Amino acid sequence: MTVFEQDFLSRQEIGSTEFNMRADRVNDPVERTVTATLENQGDGEAEIWVRLNCASNPFSPPLTTWRTEEVSIPVVAQGDGSTPTPTPTPEPDTPTPTPTPTPEPATPTPTPTPEPDTPTPTPTPTPEPDTPTPTPTPEPATPTPTPTPEPATPTPTPTPEPATPTPTPASTDVDSCTTITESGTYDLTSDIDASDDGPCIHIRASDVTLEGNGNTISGPGGEDSLGLLVYNGPADGFGDGERLTNVTVRDVEIADWGEGVRAGPEAGSPGPQVELDGVTLSNAGGIGLYGADDSVLRDVTVTDSKNGLYLWETSNVVGEGITLADNAGVGLFLAQVVEDSRFSDVTISGNEGGGIAFSTDAAGNTVTDATVENNDEYGVRFSDSRDNLFEQSTVAGSSSPAVIADNAAGDQVEAVTIRSGEAAAVEIRSDSDLGLADVSIDSQISVRTPDGGSPASFDATRDNPVRISTTAVDELGGDQPGEALVERGVTVSNADSNVVATFEPSDPGPDASVQLFRFVGGSWSPIDGATGSSPTATLSGSESVAPFGVRAVEPDDEETPEAPTPDDADDEQPPETPTPDDADDEQPPETPTPDDADDEQPPETPTPDDADDEQPPETPTPDDESSDTQATTERTLEIISTAENEFEYEFVFEGTAEKSETDTMAADSSDDVESRDDGTVVISGSTGDNSGDAFAVTGEFVSGTITGGESNYEILLGGDDITDQVTAVDDSDDDEDTDVDDVEMSVLRILSTEDNQFEYEIVVAGTAVKSETDTEAADSSDDVETRGDGTVVIFGSTGDNSGDAYEITGTVEEARVIGVSDGFEILVDGEPIDVETAAESDSDDADDSDDAEERIDATIGGVGASPV
């Protein structure tokens, strides 16, 4: 017998029948029920009626039945079947009072007339000490059975005054695969070992609780098998049923399924609101939430499966106490349009596809208190995502970058400890806005972006990523300026935005002080003002910084560490007040004059030695006779449009180049810098309409080409006009006609054929541009890069039954798919290309290969593999 929200203990006697009522309150926010146990301790028989939701007096005589909104169920107490005694003498005995002079009902009539529904415990006439005496004293009136006005209604069916609430019915036992179509509680009473693909348990109703009771639902292990489905529709299609809510699955293990738990359809219609509590999956394909807004996961573990936890077009999910380990795919995968969800107390380790992925249009999500260790590919990746926060967590033990940003937009890494060893702590692979705040990349180094860790804009490509890492100081080389106070320094590469590093160096000792030095071009130089117990430096471009213990120079009131000292002939003077040479003692102290053999240098610029006539390093003079100066001096290349036009350009330098900006122009994300193996760099891009692009370059100018523009452009290098050294290429209509008519374009399609996620890299001997079909399109995270050898490389990612498309000319030379061994297809003009996986091709002698275990690469055979 079940009643709502009651906690009572009552004892009732009816005739010779006794009942003990006990109710135990169940403190559960979902199943608010109290179970009452009825025990007959007498020899009679009766029916009872329990009033629901009653704060007191839970019984209303006479006791008959208990009710719900839907049914009325009689409850009969156990007994010996004898006739119940609660109807002894009826009314005829009652009105015959003895002719005593007292008219009160206290007349000592021995007939008790208790009436059928009188709950007074006087069924037998116990007269008490003054039974026969007709004393008129009113006190003995207490035992008199004078009928009260209420007994006028002796009907056995009481009228239930309160509204009839709906008690939760008793739970339903489940011991085999089933479909649940009605609300209620279902108890898994034993393990289930299913032989069919399932779904084994299909929940198609709201307000359902499945209590696993620690049992296991095992499956046949087939690729298409499904253990538990929560969705108001068919397992293999889309339904238009009402969205399910308040579904709870608790304390169950799911093993050996192609897909362990799926909540919702794979795409297209609303999924359920579900709570998974104490659910464990092993070799079961993982957990998928599709449109399952407002779902909750607590104490969930997924091991040895595909993706650990996969979310698609789902918002407001809360996950606590999540363990995702040793899975073939990604541990925590926020795949597409996952918004405003929060995960805490998360352990993600040993996953081959990566740790945590914030993917396409994942926005406003937070992962906190996470331990991300020993995952292949990456620890955390932001790809086409925005405004997500990864905080108060640890990323460690991976041979790949700890944090990857690929077209991130406002994502943030805050209060995170990274221990990535030789791998990059942060790698930015395409133009991204990424914020770093209090990110520890070594026990003695933390980094951040400027403005308190706000997202900074980084320009990057796959060939020229921005990297933030640590490097052993002893491996950097150069003449160290003192004792290194850290084992590893911080190194940035290709950083076009600033990165701020703070150090916690070791104690340099009583005779030395801490000074940060910058390592660029093979030598160390001190950083002005970067001293003290926690020195800070700002890094950009490609450079390294480390702290050293520098011994103090002889005490001098005017000494400052950054000021240059005069030449060898004047070693004893203060740095900022250089004294003139021996031949010129009368010069003012703040206007240092050089020595007899040195041309006069500008004040505050270090004076070279007696044999060095060159100009100060910060004001280089370009000299055609000094190739060394060109090789090391950074100059600005400006490509300027001087009319309403549009043109493309390509410049080659024997040195280095990176995107830059001036007061009036800047290179943008569509422009590119590519480093070649021969030591040259190729700058390519487009501009027009009276605007321009800028690049910072070193080295010798090799060549330049402008296509289009009708000569309305100007090229400056270090302020010098080199327009006449640039070759103009006509892009007339005849050339365009030739491109269209004479070159055959083919469509390259990379397709996902199941629920997965993978990256690809395809080499084409020809050209390639992003394209689209009726069903696929390359997006902003995909990329095409031109090499100097006549080939192009296509990079990108796709998955989940979608795909990318490109238009190409020439021949597909090579292709690589990363992350899956099947579930994809590569087509050229509709014809599939045979794919041989690296794991298969090396199976004869490389079954134990680490590469085969860590990543699956599919390679398309060499030249001519695609008949384009």
DSSP 464-487: S-EEEEEEEHHHH-S--SSEESSS
Q: Which long-range contacts (CB under 8 A, 24 or more apart) does 352-355 make?
A: 352/327, 352/328, 352/376, 352/377, 352/853, 352/854, 352/855, 353/307, 353/327, 353/328, 353/329, 353/377, 353/757, 353/819, 354/330, 354/378, 354/379, 354/381, 355/330, 355/331, 355/379, 355/380, 355/395, 355/398
Is the whole-model pTM more than 0.75? no
pLDDT tens track for 677-734? 778 889 999 998 888 998 988 888 988 989 887 778 999 998 899 998 887 876 554 4
Can you give the pLDDT at residue 200?
A: 96
pLDDT for the residue numbered 766: 86
Q: Which helix (H) or strand (E) holds 627?
A: helix 627-632
Residue 236 sits at the vertex; the CA angle it makes with 233 and 240, to the nearest 5 degrees, is: 30
**Which one, of 395, 461, 449, 448, lies nearest residue 423 by Cα?**
395
Task: Render pLDDT for 494-526 as a digit per residue (tens, 0 to 9).
Answer: 999 999 999 999 999 998 999 999 999 889 999
Helix (H, G, I), strand (E, B) or coil at 451: helix
Q: Mark the ranges of the chain whose per-residue pLDDT is less than 50.
A: 1-41, 45-149, 151-153, 155, 555-627, 733-741, 837-868
CATH 2.160.20.10 fits 307-462, yes or no: yes
Residues 224, 197: contact at Cβ < 8 Å?
Answer: yes
Residue boundaries of the structural domains of the chain:
1-170, 307-462, 469-552, 557-588, 629-736, 743-859
Examine residue 575 and say whether the peptide bond preceding it is cis (omega within 30 degrees of 0): no
CA–CA gap between residue 458 and residue 838 (Å, rounded): 34
838, containing H or E segment: helix 838-841
**Phi-psi group of 323: left, alpha or beta (phi > 0 → left; psi -120 to 50 → alpha; rest → beta):** beta
